[in-house]
Amino acid sequence: MAEAAPANFYRSDRSGKGLGVWEHKGKVAAIGVGHSDTARRWDWKPESSVGAWTIQAIRRAIADAGIDASTIDGLVFDTTTTTGAYWDNRPIPPDHAEMWKSTNDPLDGIAKLSDEWIIKNMPELSNVTFTMVGPGCMSNCVVVAAEAIGRGLTKTCLVVKSWHNFEGRYYQGGANAQDTVSGPQKFGALWAGPASYTTAQQFQRYMWKYGKTHDMMYNFVRQETENGLLFPEGYWSQHRPENLTREDYVNARWVAKPANLFDNDIPIMSCAAYVFTTADRAKDAKNKPVYIINHETDQIKTRGIQPILDEVQECARLNGVNLMSGAGMSPSDLSFENMYDGFTLFHVFHLEGLGVQGIGEGEALDYFESQDFGLTSKFPISPSGGNRGSGRTRTWMHTDCIQQISGRAGARQITAPAHAGVSGGPFPYGGNFTVWADSPNYPN
């Protein structure tokens, strides 16, 4: 059974002085991308279970990379496949066990994943000797795989993150369905409320502090919606090609005021897989290699039960300092930005923390209203469309960075030269972030 990556795999600094340049800068490259089909919820068929779609995504990534599966010796993945869709003692579908080779855990491949299940059901992965877990998010898996290759623990590695979704209301099962709250959750979950309520509180304070309004988010959310409709693997593109008008946005119901329906992402079923390898091996790759030139992990420091605005802004600022210093670059060296948007309001803090386009604290909403940041602009923001534009996976941002820089983003391809991009999340409680570039020595 694979274990979670140790603490020393992650790069972080709280001093504000920044990280030194990553010792493995430019030694790791992405050469293949694969996405499964998408669905709003599982239809209970074994061929569309989370395990089945994991295999689908992996095989598509291997084919995209143009390599033989026998050359893969590493697998980095996440065992959890949801943040809010719980099994709740349902009967195991018998046809799932008939189609797939099971492990000792009957929920393997249905409501969770193990390396054992993946390898048992993919005989072509005959030479995988290194497995490790990047808990919770593709952003974690990406930095763990990059570090593992940099350290020589694996040479060609699959990076995998999958999501399931069952019928019923999200976040209503599991611990949330119990009469009492125990463990660390008792310090925050006892206040109830939807997942976006703490972000909404921080954004409410932000608007008060800087004299802004929620409606100023519209241009950003509209642009994400448009970008997501150009992502053929995404949920909205495949199933609900809907545009977003200003009237739709400003009149949408509040989920946690001032975070409305369109500020929240939609849970879906999907899987994404990447193929990473060493820079030397990537030279002969089918696709243009996209190099990882830094990764950074941040954890917010809070004095209370929930982070306040000042703490969120400081976390974002340190994140920006560490990302740029660890890559040996400045914000002006970035070509586009693809940070996490599980709640669209996050992006205000991301942009101001990074300091891209000279955006300072309190200025992101003005930028949204006064500047073009679409695919043909001088500095595209969230060209992937993110979770808002394609569904809750936390993977679109990484895929888009790889595809933009390798010139394979299709209708989403930005018109400005795509030399370097940044992605990562979640935020602000903690997250993992990556800088991607078209050259191992960028910006030199």
Residue with tokens 């790889």: 402
Please report the pLDDT score of residue 195 as a whole number. 85
Numbers of helices and strands, H then E, in the chain: 14, 11
The CATH architecture annotation of domain 7-170+267-282 reads 3-Layer(aba) Sandwich (3.40)
Cβ atoms of 347 and 341 within 8 Å: the answer is yes
- Three-class DSSP labels, 26-77: CCEEEEEEEECCCECCCCCCHHHCHHHHHHHHHHHHHHHHCCCHHHCCEEEE
Enter the pTM of the model. Answer: 0.97
Give the span between the Cα atoms of 331 and 323, in whole angstroms: 9
Please report the pLDDT score of residue 428 as a whole number. 77
Q: Which two tokens stand for residue 33?
A: 């991308």
Full pLDDT tens readout for the chain, 444 residues: 899 999 999 999 999 999 999 999 999 999 999 999 999 999 999 999 999 999 999 999 999 999 999 999 999 999 999 999 989 888 899 999 899 999 999 999 999 999 999 999 999 999 999 999 999 999 999 999 999 999 999 999 999 999 999 998 787 766 666 777 777 666 666 666 788 989 999 999 999 999 999 999 999 999 999 999 999 999 999 999 999 999 999 999 999 999 999 999 999 999 999 999 999 999 999 999 999 999 999 888 888 888 999 999 999 999 999 999 999 999 999 999 999 999 999 999 999 999 999 999 999 999 999 999 999 999 999 999 999 999 999 999 999 999 999 999 999 999 999 999 999 999 877 799 999 999 999 999
Please report the pLDDT score of residue 293 as a whole number. 98
Please report the pLDDT score of residue 188 as a whole number. 63
Please report the pLDDT score of residue 191 as a whole number. 63
Q: Which two tokens stand for residue 442?
A: 């960028």
Residue with tokens 């030269």: 417
User: What are the φ/ψ torsions at residue 173 (nearest 5 degrees)?
Assistant: -105, -160
